[in-house]
Structure 1
Amino acid sequence: MKMNGTVGRGLNALNAALHVNGVGELNSTKAVIQMSKIWMIPFFVMLVVLIYVGNCIVLVAYCTVKRLRTSNSVMMVQLTVTDLVAGLTLIFQAVTVSYDYLFEDVHICILWYALIFFRGMASILSLFMITLDRYFAITNPLKHMSRNKKTWFIGVALSIWIPAFVLGFIMPILWHKDWSFEKDKECELPLVIPEIYISWIVVPFFVINAAGIVFMYTRIERAQRKSMSRDKHKMAKLSRTVALVLACFFTCWTPIIVMLGVHSYTYMNYNPITLNIRLALAQLTALNSAVNPVIYVIRYRQFRKAFLEAVGSKRVRPASKVTESSAL
């Protein structure tokens, strides 16, 4: 009987630990991260290395090889810069995962989520502007060629970073929950980020930009089929490359946006399974920043040659004429 009483007390203590205030300890982001450390930290390190090696190669090739400095490549460099910034956010997340007691600070917790929102908004805005540039190049080529490239570049940069910084970073930093009414100080999304921010800002932002991208790309494809230009093949190749970049982005980001939308619109509670899924989907978004340089290498022969020149491992004869569509 004494043994049974001890076991009973132990089970009661375990049950109390797992179900405090209706939310289990295993239901917390901190607990899930603690259990996931064994794969998260190596994954973060691998991603940071891949992101910085790949995207720095793109920048080195762009800065050292003049024939790659076209309007098309400038737009791609915007996305490269976005991916490098995403790498910085991953460094912060790797540190917080390594020292998970940091999640007990509400400001660190909010910063964790704000950086994910920020890099997501910056990425989709970069892709929106790349698609917009392609759209004008196809539908109004004369106006596209005659525009002031420096002004256009500055305008594109401001259109990407100001909305992403204000909506994705500043807004959750200023507008958040402070745990004052929470018995358990857990770094859980619904406990620190207002549901209305997810349902009225994050999800609509993604949907509106995605709809704009799909609309413009549909018009681009229609215009290319009707085009009689001599560069039709090269323009189509560039558009297919942009489509591949877009497909990778939507593959990496759509699942977590759908999941956030479902939980914020329905006020559905997370459980250990959905928390693990959400954590994995968040890492999938970071993988997108490492994939883009691989696409450039695979799709652009001129870029591969330019990279070999940039690193000095091979000298190739410069092309007699390289058009914007054939360069990165």
Structure 2
Amino acid sequence: METLEEAELCFPQLLNTSCKKPTGPHSDTVLVKVLMSSVSLLTVVLNLLVIISISHFRQLHTPTNLLLLSLAVSDLLVGLIVMPFQILLTEPCWFLGDFICTMYFLLGFITICASVVNMVLISVDRYVAICDPLHYSTKITQSRIQLFVLLCWLYCVFYSFLFLSDNLKQPGRYNSCYGECVINIIGVVDLVLSFIIPMSSIIILYMRVFVVAVSQARSMRSHIAAVKLQRSVTVTVKKSELKAARTLGVVVAVFLMCYCPYFCLSLSSSDIIMASSTNSVINFLVLLNSCLNPVIYAFFYPWFRKSVKLIVTLEILQPHSCQTNVL
């Protein structure tokens, strides 16, 4: 009987303080691990393609693409570091210690925060490009974007250290037994800073972009007198309106789909205890957004498909390939 009880403990040598291994079927756990591993690999591959494309081809060295590059770096780190640790959190016991547990959540907060802030910066960039095109080249320069990207990452690091300060001072302080990986966060603060403010900014900016784009298209159409030309432009305007609406809908819907379950949990309580047993699926939905970001922001661009073809066929290894026309 004693052997059976010891076998059910994460640390059999710690009879009184060790967590117990939950008993039950393991088929669901295996399926979840396979799914999460596949998404992790796909996230790394897609974002790596974005990084190589923008970094290698000189034509793509624009302020907008620099923001996409920063977004891809944050999403790559999510797939490379955060997702694999999230897979480990599905295990019944955590064997890597309290310090590694806290570092995992710290890296997770930094990279996910950077991904969200980069999305806001991309929204600002598109807002200026559409709503103030005459001054875009003077307002949005390469050096300014580099500064904003640097400030974005510094803010995310500072925010994450400040947000997890209690957990960093004493790793494992919220564990109820040995073999857990648990942290405590203030749900309301996280809800406001990581979801409400960024999401509101993105929606407001994109709505403004959509309204201005539609009004400009209609104004252009109204100044065309020739019937044939007017018909041809009408088709173009309708397509542009649909494309703008579709892009806005995809950005907002995907972000909401991935983040809403997590922040709905935030609303249910002022404090959240994040542990593997109850939050692995909800946390992974947030991480899934990093896999979908390159699809939303990069796959919609023709230059990305051309770049991927050159990368896959190894043509980028040819001399002067960085000067290849991909636009």
2:268 corresponds in structure 1 to 262
1:301 corresponds in structure 2 to 302
Distance 1:218 1:311 in 2: 37
C-alpha contact 1:134 1:239 (8 A) present in aligned 2 = no
* Larger displacement relative to structure 2 (245-254 or 217-226): 245-254
Q: Percent identity?
A: 21
The DSSP-based 3-state class of the residue aligned with 1:193 is strand
1:249 corresponds in structure 2 to 255
1:319 corresponds in structure 2 to none
Change (3 A) 1:180 1:66: closer
Distance 1:171 1:186 in 2: 26
Structure 2 unaligned regions, length at least 5? 9-18, 221-232, 317-324
Note if 1:203 corresponds to 2:209.
Answer: no
Deviations 1:163-218 (A, max 9, x none): 211112x12443226556875356364xx314xx3322x11112111111111112
Change (3 A) 1:108 1:59: closer
Deviations 1:106-131 (A, max 9, x none): 32332333333323211211111110
Distance 2:24 2:198 in 1: 31
2:166 corresponds in structure 1 to 175
Deviations 1:271-291 (A, max 9, x none): xxx975621111112222222
Tell me which amino acid in the other structure corresponds to 1:209. Answer: P
The DSSP-based 3-state class of the residue aligned with 2:259 is helix
Distance 1:60 1:181 in 2: 41
1:289 corresponds in structure 2 to 290
2:12 corresponds in structure 1 to none
Q: How many angstroms does 1:240 deviate by?
A: 4.6
The DSSP-based 3-state class of the residue aligned with 2:206 is helix
* Larger displacement relative to structure 2 (61-70 or 150-159): 61-70
The DSSP-based 3-state class of the residue aligned with 2:30 is helix
Distance 2:279 2:162 in 1: 22
Note if 1:155 corresponds to 2:147.
Answer: yes
Tell me which amino acid in the other structure corresponds to 1:160. Answer: C
1:78 corresponds in structure 2 to 70
Distance 2:128 2:47 in 1: 26
Structure showing the higher helix proportion among its residues: 1
The DSSP-based 3-state class of the residue aligned with 1:112 is helix
Residue 204 of structure 2, aligned match among 205, 215, 238: 215
1:18 corresponds in structure 2 to none
Q: How many angstroms does 1:89 deviate by?
A: 2.0
Aligned length: 282
TM-score, L = length of structure 2? 0.70
C-alpha contact 2:75 2:115 (8 A) present in aligned 1 = yes
Deviations 1:242-273 (A, max 9, x none): 652443222111211221231326x8x89xxx
The DSSP-based 3-state class of the residue aligned with 1:158 is helix
Change (3 A) 1:298 1:81: closer
Q: How many angstroms does 1:239 deviate by?
A: 7.6
Q: How many angstroms does 1:224 deviate by?
A: 1.2
2:225 corresponds in structure 1 to none
Structure 1 unaligned regions, length at least 5? 1-5, 15-24, 316-321
Change (3 A) 1:198 1:218: same
Distance 1:153 1:120 in 2: 20
The DSSP-based 3-state class of the residue aligned with 1:133 is helix
Distance 2:296 2:121 in 1: 18
C-alpha contact 2:127 2:205 (8 A) present in aligned 1 = yes
Deviations 1:298-318 (A, max 9, x none): 522332123213333789xxx
Tell me which amino acid in the other structure corresponds to 1:287. Answer: L
Tell me which amino acid in the other structure corresponds to 1:111. Answer: M
Q: How many angstroms does 1:83 deviate by?
A: 0.6
2:213 corresponds in structure 1 to 224
C-alpha contact 1:33 1:97 (8 A) present in aligned 2 = no
C-alpha contact 1:102 1:108 (8 A) present in aligned 2 = no
Tell me which amino acid in the other structure corresponds to 2:199. Answer: A
C-alpha contact 1:110 1:193 (8 A) present in aligned 2 = no
2:184 corresponds in structure 1 to 193
* Larger displacement relative to structure 2 (274-283 or 51-60): 274-283
The DSSP-based 3-state class of the residue aligned with 2:209 is helix
* Larger displacement relative to structure 2 (284-293 or 223-232): 223-232
1:91 corresponds in structure 2 to 84
C-alpha contact 2:89 2:276 (8 A) present in aligned 1 = no
Distance 2:261 2:29 in 1: 22
